[in-house]
Structure 1
């Protein structure tokens, strides 16, 4: 989730100047995140935690910067504090779920996403993320249902659409996956995930020219798709799709 600044509770305990200074520093932290300087953002949120320790947003935001640096245990500690301060706010649960996913703690991640859905029953991101965690367990059918629900709630949620297509390919629905990936690429031509997946499926179907054209576009947008380890462990494509792209890369090279 993107960082946000929320004024701390009981504003009477702070001067106007303190609140304005806090807002200014929060803006600087958000700007640092936008520039990819997560270390700087983490330090600023740390300052704001010292100044406004009862504000759950600053704890949650520091947790987000720690997730971005793969400091997952420390991030979870921050989200725990945010949840203690604001137990009915969905964002810390959602973000803690992402951290648990990073640790491969699928059950804990699913529990957090289900808490989000208890609080906000039509949250497409929570459905998508629960699908990710279920896919991590190899529960492909349940994952697909969650991705499809996310798309139903947010038809322009391109990643949920791509995730659904990946699971369709994993479960042997090759032609459905191919059709859906083509539709995604047609609507979102600059979406490298769909283009890279489409490359793999097209190659398997013997459509080499179209596969290579999509591949050039995919890696021109995001070169990480050449890294199978990243694809398997960070992006977490299902194994059948990773294997298909590996065959393409092996034969292409």
Structure 2
């Protein structure tokens, strides 16, 4: 469970979401050199994040915070770095500070909600996503994340509604569509789920999560050749799908799909 956040952040970056921003504004007591240094640290923090070096990124955000303690973006981004290292409680402290400094900015609430999900605090996460949607009713990420939290509570039908709202707002938000498809599978809409998965793979052939889901669905549906073909693609792209604990507790697939994948893996 604790590694969930880094997975989510990676997926968000892959599909064009998750755009951390730090804006260093000039204050009377700050020199141009200090502002330039802050921007350099921020660029290095983003570079470290892109390389998966979250500890280094955290260090740069800490330096920025020490220099610019009222910069909400720096606090929120350090929280992201900490959550990617499973430092969830420390991350929550950072998000709380970011929210204190910028109570009407949506990003810290979204980030805090994801950390709360990592702690299994589904209702608290939903409260954060609800507030984001009060601030911005067209925030596709908030709908997707709220769907994830509702799925964590086992409310799959409600999750489906949120995923639909998410990709209605952002049609190219592939991960919301993937979440929608696996939720459909959990609610017994197997054929519809598989059609949705196939459509996603047609547009995003390197989407390992959906290829792995198709593997499981095809296998238990008796389409062995299709299952094997999709598994070659899924495993080649991301070998973590061979770890059922990861699939169930970090990626958080629904139980029925985890069971289906287990049946496939037992014959490998």
Q: TM-score, normalised by structure 2?
A: 0.92
What residue ranges of structure 2 are gaps of 5+ in the alignment?
1-17
Of 151, 154, 164, the residue aligned with 2:180 is 164
Alpha-carbon distance in 1 for matches of 2:29, 2:158: 48
Give structure 1 stretches of 5+ with no counterpart.
Answer: none
Question: 1:11 and 1:240 mapped to 2: Cα distance?
Answer: 55
Structure 1 position 119, deviation (Å): 1.1
How many residues align? The count is 251
Aligned partner of 1:6 in structure 2 is 23
Contact kept, 8 Å, 1:185 with 1:195, in 2: the verdict is yes
Once residues 193 and 99 of structure 1 are traced to their aligned partners in structure 2, the CA distance between those partners, rounded to angstroms, is 21
Distance in 1 of aligned mates of 2:43 and 2:149: 32
Is the 1:4–1:30 Cα contact (8 Å) retained in structure 2?
A: no
Residue of structure 2 equivalent to 1:16: 32
Partner in structure 1 of residue 92 of structure 2: 76
SS in 2 for 1:12: coil
CA apart distance, 1:2: 3.5
Counterpart of 2:191 in structure 1 is 175
Distance in 1 between residues matched to 2:167 and 2:20, nearest whole Å? 24
CA contact (8 A) 2:76 2:108 kept: yes
Distance 1:152 1:25 in 2: 37
* Alpha-carbon distance in 1 for matches of 2:148, 2:134: 18
**In structure 1, what is the Cα distance between the partners aligned to 2:20 and 2:172?**
22
Q: Which structure carries more relative contact order (alpha carbon 8 Å, separation 6+)? A: 2
Instruction: Find 1:92's aligned residue among 108, 114, 133.
Output: 108
So what's the TM-score if we normalise by structure 1? 0.97
